[in-house]
Amino acid sequence: MILKIVAAITLFSALLSVPAAEILARTSFHGGFHLWFILFFMLFEVLLVLAVFERRAPIFGQIFWKGAPGKNLVALTFDDGPNEPFTSQIADILKEKKIGATFFIVGQNAVRSSGSIRRLFDEGHELGNHTWTHEVLPLKTPARIGDELTRTSDLIEKTTGRRPALFRAPHGWRNPWVNMVARKCGMAPVAWTLGVWDTDRPGEEEILRRTLAGARDGCILLLHDGRGLEEGADSSQLVRALPKIIDELKRRGFEFVTLSEMMGNSG
């Protein structure tokens, strides 16, 4: 899929470069069409790759990815669930520690476990939209993106009585329509500050080390209670690391908030 996306970016960059190079070749005393084409092609290629794959890039529109400094806030976020028994195990830890978090829900996973998201909602956690299929979005049309988001929001609303206010794209990859469609569906597009690659299952202690090494004031921490559409995906390493993460960050003076609360404190 990455190769398909890069190929599409390359083709689009070449098409954009042609008219720009022709105009400058006619008006410039230095260099002909081929030189300007190469320069513009390289420029467009770099910008488009950044726009698609860099979750924080504002090229396709602003996106919230970190909180304001000076408030000692950290937001725990969990992607790709619900995925049992791990979503419930994470909920048990959060209940014991008396903190709220934000869970980005994959619609197809929620079909298998709607009771899980009802529990998360009832216990005060925030539910965000993470598409219906967890397929990457850069090659999808606005209509297809809208379907992915609407189906998931509809299911969350049917289960909890409230539509999600936040949307996170799978892997953070976007195209020019993703932010626009998300906002049209009533959601703010968001990303994250720190990801620790817990889905690679590097071990409990490595997840803990990566988190504590990277956590900063205003950090939005990306963790996973699932792994795409993989049923029963093993998130046990994260479950074992999570209490230690929470206890150490509390010891360092951080307060845990939901992502919407962090956004409200960053205005």
Roughly how many angstroms between the first and final C-alpha of the chain, as a whole number?
37
DSSP designation for 66? S
Contact assessment for residue 181 and residue 149, using Cβ atoms and an 8 Å cutoff:
yes
Active centre residues (catalytic): 79, 224
Nearest C-alpha neighbor of 134 from the set 79, 210, 201, 76: 79
Longest Cα pair distance anywhere in the chain, in angstroms?
Answer: 71
Of 102, 90, 71, 124, the C-alpha closest to 245 is 90
Determine how β-strand 219-224 pairs with β-strand 194-195.
parallel
CA dihedral (171, 172, 177, 183) in degrees, to 10, reads 120
Here the tokens at position 140 are 């999808």
